């Protein structure tokens, strides 16, 4: 399937993704790519830890950071990487827009059932790759096939632990207990994974993990589909608004966590943004990225100054201050 370094998922697989809301892509990254991803993951985490308080891993003992940073050049450009982009376009359509490239570390022993986004008519794909082997009883992703589709998506709310799916990270709304169904009681597809395997899922698909180990490492790449009509455009704007709101909650948590560690507010490092000035500057003049930046700006994912203005700001490498929200 992945010959000559190019991913060519067949139409049958795209149909599977549309029907079931996820798609296994075994052996997607080769050993060389995984070595690069591993090394950049370490650099990204090291930088992120200078911005996020040590030990303060937020919801689900999870830390997520943007890889649109100079220390992680492969991951920063990965959304334009042939293999990933071709796969995203096959699953969504030729207008797929690269939205986020993130690093994630999980140290809790479970991730409760949730969907990353609950907005109807929002079409997207997130690719995740775990850097360590994970299985059913050791933190493998599990997904509920078909749960990206309404009304099944909405009917599944009782399996989630959160009162409101879109408030993850709000320090005042951590309903971590109280799901009616423990993670393992919900019948699911288990995404057993070895390094190099990738799983694609729609951000509306319900997913979870069980019995994970400390420092479970994962990187993710997310694309949004270009809206085909006003309803889809409105859905995207709503998603962007929610991402902004989640970013605000995450920032509040971050400040609280540093202060819990005894750090004075004036000493708290500048927060990270998803879109670094460097990524927005698009120094190589990629027409694809330029189009994405325009779209992301139009939807409200990128706020603030235009790319040229952002690029000319002097930018401390570790705290990319260009614009918009924290990683999702």
Q: Give the number of other Cβ atoms within 10 Å of residue 164's Cβ.
A: 12
CA atoms within 13 A on the CB side of 20: 17
Q: Where does this chain touch ligand AKG (CB under 6 A) — which range of 158-166, 206-214, 268-276, 277-285?
A: 206-214
Q: Where does this chain touch ligand AKG (CB under 6 A) — which range of 2-10, 145-153, 204-212, 316-324?
A: 204-212
Binding mask 129-148 for ligand AKG (x = CB under 6 A): ------------x-------
- Tokens, residue 22: 């996820």
Q: Where does this chain touch ligand AKG (CB under 6 A) — which range of 9-17, 22-30, 76-84, 212-220?
A: 212-220
Specify whether the CB–CB gap between 25 and 194 falls below 8 A: no
Minimum CB distance to ligand AKG smaller for 128 or for 320: 128
Which residue of 111, 170, 205, 324 would you call a contact of ligand AKG, by CB under 6 A?
A: 111
Which residue of 124, 209, 222, 278 would you call a contact of ligand AKG, by CB under 6 A?
A: 209
Minimum CB distance to ligand AKG smaller for 209 or for 323: 209
Binding mask 51-70 for ligand AKG (x = CB under 6 A): --------------------
Specify whether the CB–CB gap between 200 and 127 falls below 8 A: yes
Asked if 106 touches ligand AKG (CB under 6 A), the answer is yes
- State the minimum distance, in angstroms, from the CB of residue 25 to ligand AKG: 15
Asked if 327 touches ligand AKG (CB under 6 A), the answer is no
- Tokens, residue 145: 């096939």
CA atoms within 13 A on the CB side of 119: 21
Asked if 238 touches ligand AKG (CB under 6 A), the answer is no
Asked if 212 touches ligand AKG (CB under 6 A), the answer is yes
Q: ∠ CA 231-207-171 to the nearest 5 degrees?
A: 85
Specify whether the CB–CB gap between 124 and 117 falls below 8 A: yes
Q: How far is CA 20 from the centre of its chain?
A: 19
Asked if 123 touches ligand AKG (CB under 6 A), the answer is no
Asked if 206 touches ligand AKG (CB under 6 A), the answer is no
Does 151 sit behind a cis peptide bond, omega within 30 degrees of 0 on the bond before it? yes
Q: Beta partners for 47?
A: none
User: What's the rounded Cα separation, in Å, for the pair 75 and 72?
Assistant: 5
Q: Beta partners for 220?
A: 102, 128
Give the residues lining the site for ligand AKG (CB under 6 A).
Answer: 106, 111, 116, 128, 141, 207, 209, 212, 218, 220
């Amino acid at each position: 399937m992945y010959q000559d370094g190019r991913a060519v998922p067949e139409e049958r697989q795209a149909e599977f993704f549309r029907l079931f809301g996820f798609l296994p892509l075994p052996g997607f990254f080769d050993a060389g790519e995984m070595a690069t991803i591993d090394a950049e993951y370490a650099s990204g985490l090291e930088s992120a830890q200078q911005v996020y308080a040590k030990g303060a891993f937020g919801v689900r003992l999870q830390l997520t950071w943007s890889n649109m940073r100079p220390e992680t050049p492969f991951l920063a450009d990965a959304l334009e990487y042939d293999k990933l982009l071709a796969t995203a376009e096959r699953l969504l359509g030729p207008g797929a827009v690269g939205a986020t490239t993130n690093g994630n570390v999980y140290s809790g022993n479970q991730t409760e059932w949730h969907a990353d986004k609950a907005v109807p008519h929002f079409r997207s794909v997130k690719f995740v790759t775990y850097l360590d082997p994970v299985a059913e009883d050791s933190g493998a992703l599990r997904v509920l096939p078909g749960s990206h589709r309404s009304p099944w998506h909405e009917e599944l709310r009782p399996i989630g632990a959160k009162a409101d799916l879109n408030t993850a990270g709000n320090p005042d709304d951590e309903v971590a207990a109280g799901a009616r169904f423990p993670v393992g009681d919900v019948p699911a597809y288990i995404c057993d994974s070895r390094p190099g395997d990738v799983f694609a899922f729609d951000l509306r698909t319900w997913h979870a993990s069980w019995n994970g180990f400390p420092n479970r490492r994962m990187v993710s790449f997310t694309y949004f589909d270009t809206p085909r009509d006003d309803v889809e455009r409105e859905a995207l704007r709503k998603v962007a608004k929610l991402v902004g709101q989640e970013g605000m909650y995450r920032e509040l948590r971050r400040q609280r966590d540093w202060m819990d560690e005894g750090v004075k507010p004036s000493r708290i490092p500048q927060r990270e943004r998803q879109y670094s000035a460097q990524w927005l500057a698009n120094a190589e003049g990629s027409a694809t990225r330029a189009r994405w930046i325009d779209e992301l700006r139009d939807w409200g994912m990128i706020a603030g100054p235009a790319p040229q203005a952002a690029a000319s700001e002097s930018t401390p490498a570790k705290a990319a201050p260009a614009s918009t929200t924290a990683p999702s």
